């Protein structure tokens, strides 16, 4: 958590000019040469949260921290890591908050139970509504 605060503070302090961060984040505004790798990186970036902005993924943000994270994702993809490895690494550092794809844990299981419950309710509602009466008419 301390690390995160330091990072955010650092990012806030840096001016918003693209050229400044270019030296530390070479892939913030540059794509990977291999289109397959770039697609992989893009798909992953769309599911990672920009920690400094409100409700934007790092693929949708001009914030410096989003640029650094984009660069990090692309560099790691280029180095041959899989998207899920990178996600796991980021979650370890910044917590579950960084990933827009909730992981199945003791805390998030209700998220995955709800669709099932809704399906069940929908099924029961439709059944109650139609089964007995359909036969009666």
Partner 1 sequence: MIAELGLAALWLAAALAALQLVSGALGLTERGAVLGGAVRPVAVVQGGLALLAFACLIYVFSVTDLSVKLVALNSHSMKPLVFKIAGAWGNHEGSMLLWVTVMGLGGAFVALVEKRLPERTMLATLAGQAFVSLGFYAFLLFASNPFERLSPVPMEGNGLNPLLQDLGLAFHPPTLYLGYVGLSIAFSFAIGALVTREVGPAFAKAMRPWVLGAWIFLTVGITAGSYWAYYELGWGGWWFWDPVENASLMPWLAATALLHSCGVLAARNALRAWTIMLGVVAFSMSMIGTFLVRSGILTSVHAFAVDPQRGTFILALLAIYIGGALVLFGLRAATVTEGERFAFVSREGALVVNNVMLSAILGIVLFGTLYPLFAEAMGAKVSVGPPYFNPMSALFAVPMLVVLMVGPLLRWRRDKFGRVGRELVIPAMLIVAAGICVLVLGGVALLPWIGLALSVGLGWASLLPLKGRNLRRTPLPIWGMVVAHFGIAVALFGMSSESAFSVEKLVAVRMGEVTQVGPWGVKLDTVEPVAGPNWTAMEARLLVRYGIDGKVTRMLPQSRSFWAPPQQTSESALLTRWNGQLYAVLGGEAPKVDGEKQSRWQLRLWWKPFAPLIWIGGLLIALGGLLALVGRVAADVRRIVAKDKIAYRREKQGR
Contact residue for partner 1 among 7, 8, 31, 78 (CB under 8 A): 31
Q: In the numeric block, which tokens belong to residue 77?
A: 């993809």
Phi and psi at residue 14, in whole multiples of 5°?
Answer: -70, 140
Our finding on whether 34 is near partner 1 (CB under 8 A) is no
Q: What is residue 50's three-state secondary structure?
A: coil
Our finding on whether 22 is near partner 1 (CB under 8 A) is yes
CB 50 within 8 A of CB 62: no
Taking the C-alpha atoms of residue 132 and residue 53, their distance in angstroms, rounded to an integer, is 53
Contact residue for partner 1 among 33, 55, 92, 104 (CB under 8 A): 55
Our finding on whether 80 is near partner 1 (CB under 8 A) is no
Taking the C-alpha atoms of residue 18 and residue 13, their distance in angstroms, rounded to an integer, is 14
Q: In the numeric block, which tokens belong to residue 40?
A: 């992989």
Contact residue for partner 1 among 10, 24, 93, 129 (CB under 8 A): 129
Our finding on whether 125 is near partner 1 (CB under 8 A) is yes
Identity of the residue, 22 or 37, whose beta carbon is nearer to partner 1 in the bound complex: 22
CB 90 within 8 A of CB 83: no
Q: Applying CB under 8 A, which residues contact partner 1?
A: 16-19, 22-23, 29-31, 42, 46-47, 49, 54-57, 59-62, 95-102, 107-108, 110-111, 114-115, 118-119, 121-122, 125-126, 129-130, 133-134, 137
């Amino acid at each position: 958590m301390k690390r995160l605060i330091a990072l955010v503070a650092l990012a806030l302090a840096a001016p918003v000019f693209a050229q400044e961060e270019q030296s530390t984040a070479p892939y913030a505004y540059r794509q990977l040469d291999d289109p397959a790798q770039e697609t992989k990186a893009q798909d992953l970036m769309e599911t990672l949260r920009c920690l400094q902005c409100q409700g934007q993924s790092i693929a949708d943000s001009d914030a410096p921290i989003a640029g650094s994270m984009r660069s990090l994702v692309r560099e790691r993809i280029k180095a041959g890591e899989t998207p899920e490895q990178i996600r796991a690494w980021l979650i370890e550092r910044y917590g579950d908050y960084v990933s827009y794809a909730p992981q199945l844990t003791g805390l998030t299981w209700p998220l995955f139970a709800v669709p099932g419950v809704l399906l069940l309710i929908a099924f029961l509602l439709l059944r109650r509504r139609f089964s007995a009466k359909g036969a009666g008419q």
